[in-house]
Amino acid sequence: MEIDRRSLMKGLLAGGALLALGTPPWAFADSPTRKPRRCLLFLGGNNVDDLFEKGVRAACVEMGYDGLQTVKVNGGLLSDPGKMATLLEQSGGARWIAVMDDASAAVFQELARTTGGRLLSVGSHVSGSEGRPSRHVWLAASPAQGAGGLLAAQLSGARESFAITESFLNESSAANNLTGWSAPGFSSYRSAGSESMHLHCSGLSVSEACRELGLTGPEDWTSIPPHVCKLETVSRQSPHWVESVGYAVAASALGVHSIQESCSTRAFVHRTGGLDERIVSSARFVSFVMDI
């Protein structure tokens, strides 16, 4: 199977934020601190701000972190880029958790670059109306900054359909030792191709999951032995998927110990028995975790 990060992103979110913004090599931190001393939540004026913030604050409560600072830009980041640049310059030493729309994300990345910011992860998140599954594409500095497993465990526990793809610029230091993610109802597989990829699917077959992710070519997967898979557990399920994204992003930013798989790319696909009627409106946004 011919798999690369670009085709994965195209398959999931053609025209989405990650594809439009590209993958700036300057942006990703090599060895970020796991637990930040100062953390700032930036809300970019999107219609998902309140739900995302609710998830972030839930993660802070569970992890005993009470130092979260919140900044919200009314009217969106594009209304005053100069104010955003000043805020970045004044927040040296802080870890940012940010959420915004696609257009603001392009400006934010450029402002962060000039300030010397270092990304830990950037994600593109979207759902349609009429109960369509939510879709998520993440790019992270390493498995230590991964949030995909946390989100998959939450959404599957809440019986929501989804597709998640997460790629790492640097594999785990234990990459030579096979480790895998697990959650109730999921089957896990490893690509036998040239690139190390793990696929976790529930409610559909491997071939159906590949079609859902936009992967083409002959199927060539081997099962990951159960004894090397670790169960990803979360203590809560949110009633809304945007809140779950906020929780997963914040937990990763605050240094939660999630399952670090021995792969460079992993995907999670889950299907319930029918459409999820709880997703009543469309939403699209970009998430960042960044050290300034």
pLDDT digits (tens, 9 = 90+) for 104-143: 898 888 888 888 888 899 999 998 766 678 999 999 988 8
CA distance 213 to 283: 19
Residues 6+ apart with CB under 8 A from 145: 32, 120, 121, 252, 289
CA distance 101 to 105: 6
User: Which of 171, 174, 173, 201 shows the shortest CA–CA distance to 263?
Assistant: 171
CA distance 109 to 117: 9
pLDDT digits (tens, 9 = 90+) for 24-57: 554 566 556 667 889 999 999 889 999 999 999 9
pLDDT digits (tens, 9 = 90+) for 201-217: 999 999 899 988 988 65
Question: What was the pLDDT predicted at 13?
Answer: 39
User: Which of 91, 146, 83, 142 shows the shortest CA–CA distance to 116?
Assistant: 91
Task: Supply the DSSP symbol for 225.
Answer: P
Instruction: Kindly state the tokens that stand for 220.
Output: 């060539």
C-alpha 39: how far from chain center: 18
Q: Residue 248: is its pLDDT beyond 90?
A: yes
| Tokens 């594009």 -> residue | 78
Helix (H, G, I), strand (E, B) or coil at 267: strand
Per-residue pLDDT band for 96 (boundaries 50, 70, 90) equals: very high
| Average model confidence (pLDDT) across the chain | 82
The dihedral of CA 32, 29, 10, 279: what is its sign? positive
Q: What angle do CA 280, 282, 288 make, to 5 degrees?
A: 125
